[in-house]
Amino acid sequence: MKHALGIDIGGTTVKASVFDARGRELGSAGETTPVVTDEPGKVERDLARTWQGILQVIAGACQAARVDPATIDYVATTGHGKGAYLRFSGEAWPSVGIVSSDNRAARLAAELGSTAAYRSSILPRITQPLWPSHSSVLLAWLRREQPERFGRIEQVLFSKDFVNCMLTGVASTDDTAATASGLYRTDDNMVDPEVLEYFGLTSLAAALPEASPSHQVMGAVRREVATATGLRAGTPVVAGLFDVNAAAIACAIRTDRDLSLVAGTWNIATATTTSPDRFAASWESLAVQSHCIPGQWMVHEGSPTSASNLEWWAQRLFGLAGIASWDVINDHVFRTEDTSVLFFPYIYGSPGDPKATGTLIGLQSGTTTGEVIRAIYEGITFQLLEHAQPTLQVVPEIDHLRLAGGIKRSRPWVQLVADTFGKTLAVAPTDEIGALGAVICGAVGIGAYADYPTAVARMTNFMDPLEPNPAQHEKLARRYEKFMRTRASLTASWSAADDA
């Protein structure tokens, strides 16, 4: 193995990165792909335009890395979980992608996830609470709200599977994306007829692909794609994996010892375990699903409550968008030691209250921009801590954190995370953590490394860890308690605003 190409399809962007055999990022390219948000909660993408963006970033990454695309040894993909990428009757290729930040099914998720039948029969099969973006819930919502559109579905894929399909012409999925969807059993990664019946999706049984190991070679680059990108026709493409699993692999977390924190579009706290039944009492709050490493399962909780909330403020209200925006934002925080403002990061929805919205509490005439930005940093970090706590309670021996995602660009924010959690924190050196996880997976699949432990050891490294400040940890613990108390008091207000 000399060069590998990792492709990462996120909620709003597509990226490609070239890595060498030691996991060093040689060059990357990214494109923002437009999403359709013409009704409340809707986040869909036109897949024809998305595919053009993917072709561009493949060529762009190779150019940035100064690597001939024809010398790429294999391609591996990753992408956001859940959602639904759909091919309709009469179409040759998938055309519509429902993104994981789509929130239209929030009330249906709450309804379906709270029944006695769900708790007794479905939860033990899919081992995770229902979120609005679960493929099972979104498809049930389509059946209820858009029956004509639902009736034309012929193929259901997940985000990175759409990329694989376009690269190879083969419709497939892997164990991690499958068991993240709420449609497949966690114990054997199979589509479950009883689950389909519960969600009213029996008619889609044939539209769901069989799941395979994440490192399995599932196809080869089509000649048309080779012509468009310079890749070699026939280049192996591995099945790939859900981006949370990819981050866990690239973060080199130790089973039942480390916690991976991803703070990008989503806030996600992740651990891996060899004993999934250890978490059985937590299935209603924690997602337990297959990991790419055989004999391991991934445990995580998350929501779209992360850095995308800060980006919303920067682009729409602060006027800070542009090349210097992170420098300007961080400068405000460096000059602001404290804030009395609280921010609740629910611009794109809340994991616990479908009526919750992004909210600032405590604004006064003297409030500074720095105080508001610090409150946004804290609110997003507090939400990340809330997602981590169920795992930390089950596995108290976790003593180290691994951080990836957009907030790693902000030194004061990274320190805030370490101080809030009160644990040693190491930061991933590469910006493209998902793509790195994908190519590690692919390195196993093509036999470049004998197994996952070897590939992870050879292809990952971390910057010097940060230590928490004990005084700041105590202060932030009090702020977190205030955050939680205030949020509880807002439930009635959010409900009243929603009903108005």
Render pLDDT for 47-93 as a digit per residue (tens, 0 to 9).
999 999 999 999 999 999 999 999 999 999 999 999 999 999 999 99
Same domain, 175 and 321: no
H helices present in 290-432, as ranges: 307-313, 325-334, 369-394, 411-421
Pick the more confident residue, 351 or 176: 176
pLDDT score recorded for residue 319: 62
- Is the confidence at residue 351, as pLDDT, over 90? no
Same domain, 51 and 192: yes
Render pLDDT for 68-81 as a digit per residue (tens, 0 to 9).
999 999 999 999 99
Render pLDDT for 450-495 as a digit per residue (tens, 0 to 9).
999 999 999 998 767 899 999 999 999 999 999 999 999 999 999 9
Same domain, 26 and 52: yes
Domain membership flag for residue 456: no
Last residue of a domain, one of 224, 244, 264: 244
Pairing of strands 74-79, 96-98: unpaired
Residues for the chain: how many in total?
Answer: 500
Same domain, 70 and 174: yes
pLDDT band at 171 (very low <50, low <70, confident <90, very high): very high
What is the value of pTM for the model shown? 0.87
Same domain, 363 and 402: yes
Domain membership flag for residue 133: yes
What whole-number distance in Å separates Cα of residue 109 and Cα of residue 107?
5
pLDDT score recorded for residue 324: 45
Mean pLDDT, the chain, rounded, equals 93
Last residue of a domain, one of 200, 215, 244: 244
- Indicate which CATH number applies to the domain containing 271: 3.30.420.40
Same domain, 80 and 51: yes
Domain membership flag for residue 484: yes
Domain membership flag for residue 450: no
Give me the domain span that covers residue 389.
252-427+469-500
- Is the confidence at residue 322, as pLDDT, over 60? no
Same domain, 173 and 212: yes
Average pLDDT over residues 133-137: 96
Same domain, 150 and 61: yes
pLDDT score recorded for residue 55: 98
- Is the confidence at residue 318, as pLDDT, over 70? no
pLDDT score recorded for residue 408: 84
Same domain, 256 and 239: no
Domain membership flag for residue 455: no
Pick the more confident residue, 336 or 76: 76
Cβ-based neighbours of 180, under 8 Å, separated by 6 or more: 81, 82, 158, 242, 244, 287, 289
- Is the confidence at residue 153, as pLDDT, over 60? yes
Same domain, 235 and 260: no
3-class DSSP state for residue 405? coil
Same domain, 173 and 305: no
Q: Which of 287-296, 316-325, 330-339 has the highest mean pLDDT?
A: 287-296
Average pLDDT over residues 222-251: 96
pLDDT score recorded for residue 3: 98
Please count the structural domains in the chain: 2
Domain membership flag for residue 421: yes
What whole-number distance in Å separates Cα of residue 379 and Cα of residue 375?
6
Domain membership flag for residue 47: yes
pLDDT band at 500 (very low <50, low <70, confident <90, very high): low
Last residue of a domain, one of 244, 276, 303: 244
Same domain, 54 and 168: yes
Domain membership flag for residue 87: yes
Cα dist. 65→18, 61, 161 in Å? Answer: 7, 6, 25
